[in-house]
Amino acid sequence: MASKLRQTALAYIDGFRTLSPETFLSILAPSAEHKFAPASLNLPHSMDAAAFAQHLGSLREVLASFPVFPKEIFENEGLSQVTIWATSETIFHEKAKGDDFSSEDWKFHGEYIFILTMDDSREKVVQIIEFLDSKATERLRGLMARARKNLNVKKE
């Protein structure tokens, strides 16, 4: 049977499949802090649980799903931490894809390291440090901007 740390960490990772802010808010402690790294990406340095949930909600505008797949999971019971090395797949809403890109162009696979620190119950995440692949993240930013532009054009 999986430890409580592992169960909570896997629930967190699974939340990306639906990008449901409610799912994350049920896993994150109200005082949780999410940090992106490296700083060279110029992403928000730190977000509380509500801001992170709002961020995920904005992703749902263009993404149907963002499944994250753990490659390796490392548990540290003493620190109430789980480190996850993972990959992802990005699935854009069909309506967000433009005709100028092929379906292959819309495919994105990322790589991440998540360090999750849990509370004493090991059921709530109190801190997330998310390391992103800098080069790949820049490509994803371009796809996201393109998808948002396509949606805005289709609304007019």
The answer to which of 63-77, 97-111, 132-146 has the lowest mean pLDDT is 97-111
pLDDT, residue 137, reads 87
The confidence band for 154, taking pLDDT boundaries of 50, 70 and 90, is low
Task: Residue 109: count other Cβ atoms within 10 Å of its Cβ.
Answer: 12
Report the number of distinct structural domains present in the chain.
Answer: 1
- Decide which of 43 and 75 is more confident: 75
Which range of residues forms the domain containing residue 85?
4-155
pLDDT, residue 138, reads 87
Q: Which residues partner with 118 through β-bridges?
A: 125
Of 128, 134, 120, residue with least CA distance to 12: 128
Which residues are CB-neighbours of 144 under 8 A, at least 6 positions away?
Answer: 59, 62
**What is the mean predicted confidence (pLDDT) over 34-39?**
92
Look up residue 101 and give its two tokens: 């890109």
* Mean pLDDT, the chain, integer: 91
DSSP structure class, residue 13 = H
CATH of the domain at 39: 3.10.450.50
**What is the mean predicted confidence (pLDDT) over 6-19?**
95
Look up residue 98 and give its two tokens: 């433009």
The confidence band for 102, taking pLDDT boundaries of 50, 70 and 90, is confident
The confidence band for 39, taking pLDDT boundaries of 50, 70 and 90, is confident
